[in-house]
Structure 1
Amino acid sequence: MLYSATTAFSKIHLKKNESLVKEGGICPYFCFIESGILQHAIEISGNEVTTYLALRHSFTSSLNSFLFQKPSRKSIKAISDCTLYVADLKTFKNLIENNPAFHQYYYNLIEKQICLIDDYRIDLLTMTPEERYTKLLQTEPKLLQEVPLHYLSSFLGISDRHMSRIRRNIK
């Protein structure tokens, strides 16, 4: 069956703290976030570490788990109430194979994400916490308004206490 991108996605809702996928589970969907924020996190030595924050009007998934039906190495949960448009694997593959516009959009999305991940990894190794925070202020000011501080500090690799100090000094 051929799908158009606009009819292929189904609407679902996640309440705050509800999971899309838990570490070890299979991610069921490729998602477009209409509203809300999804936190990608891993567990390290009993501590939750934020690896990514997916905001409104973006796509997200535990892609390795979704595409290859493997246990997810991360959890994805709503940190606010979310409205998502989701596609299951069969629908997603049909879109990729039969909808050239969606295929190109997905290719561009993945290309952009790879570049962002590369920059993020290099920033963690080469920038001070203050520099990472300042860069976030310049490039993603919405995050600072919409995401609770403890998720941002985890994402930036900064303790909550140090993050508070940085915010006071850089205003």
Structure 2
Amino acid sequence: MQDQLIAYFSAIMPLTAEEIAGIRESMCIRTFKKGTVLLKEGQIAKECYFVLKGCVRQYYVVEGEEKTSNFFTENQWVVSVNSFMNKTPANHYFDCTEETTLVIGTEQKENDLYSQFPKFEKLARIALEKGFGEQQAIVATRVTDSPEQRYLQLLTQQPALVQRVPQYQLASYLGIKPESLSRIRKRIALKAKAEQ
């Protein structure tokens, strides 16, 4: 599993054998049970994560109701950016929707790698920009697309996610009620049947 993170970084820029050894040395990998809460609202994030296997959900609690804003799966970073970087309390939660294996990073580990390998600062910046771009695209679809368009896009971009998370969480992520998601699924199935 260690090779997954190495492959991720190597796709951004080539790494020397020494740099690969440095990453391996600093790596802390842990597996969390389904339902484990990694971060609670009000806590200051002291860790960031890279998903090797599994799924982490980000959600907010609004008037007692959970509102899902994101799912992070294999080869994605899970970071409460504002809380982690500015040492401010998080306004959301991270939890594991299934058994999840993560690489755990801390500020200290990050700084140690930067001082040993200055090139990693650029690597981290590129990875952060990539993640930020993905998040911006998700936010944009919430403004520009209908729930059905968002669901179809999800089926295209992350088809496995539809099978991996409960329907009520998926509906919340799409900004609709579970009944509306059922109607959208039926409509899509009927359309597909009619086109056969």
User: Normalising by the residue count of structure 1, what TM-score does the alignment of the two structures yield?
Assistant: 0.89
CA RMSD of aligned residues (A): 1.9
The secondary structure found in structure 1 opposite 2:148 is: helix
Deviation of 1:137 after TM superposition, in Å, equals 1.1
The residue aligned with 1:85 is 103
Deviation of 1:57 after TM superposition, in Å, equals 2.5
Which structure carries more relative contact order (alpha carbon 8 Å, separation 6+)?
Answer: 1
Corresponding residue pairs, total: 170
The residue aligned with 2:156 is 138
**Structure 2 runs not aligned, ≥5 long:** 1-18, 190-196
The whole-number CA distance in structure 2 between the counterparts of 1:162 and 1:97 is: 52
The whole-number CA distance in structure 2 between the counterparts of 1:79 and 1:170 is: 26
1:113-159 residue CA offsets vs partner (Å, 9 max, x unmatched)? 22222222221112111111111111221211322222211111111
Q: Is the 8 A contact 2:141 2:150 kept in 1?
A: yes
Greater shift in the superposed pair: 73-82 or 95-104: 95-104
The partner residue of 1:12 within 20, 30, 53 is 30
The partner residue of 1:36 within 54, 57, 66 is 54
The whole-number CA distance in structure 2 between the counterparts of 1:19 and 1:11 is: 17
Instruction: Pick closer, same or farther for the CA change 1:152–1:102 going to 2, 3 Å.
Output: farther
| Paired residue type of 2:142 | L
The residue aligned with 2:45 is 27
The residue aligned with 2:137 is 119
Q: Is the 8 A contact 2:38 2:95 kept in 1?
A: yes
The secondary structure found in structure 2 opposite 1:125 is: helix
**Structure 1 runs not aligned, ≥5 long:** none
Deviation of 1:45 after TM superposition, in Å, equals 1.3
Deviation of 1:48 after TM superposition, in Å, equals 0.6
Q: Is the 8 A contact 2:77 2:131 kept in 1?
A: no
Q: Is the 8 A contact 1:41 1:48 kept in 2?
A: yes
Instruction: Please say if 1:75 is aligned against 2:88.
Output: no
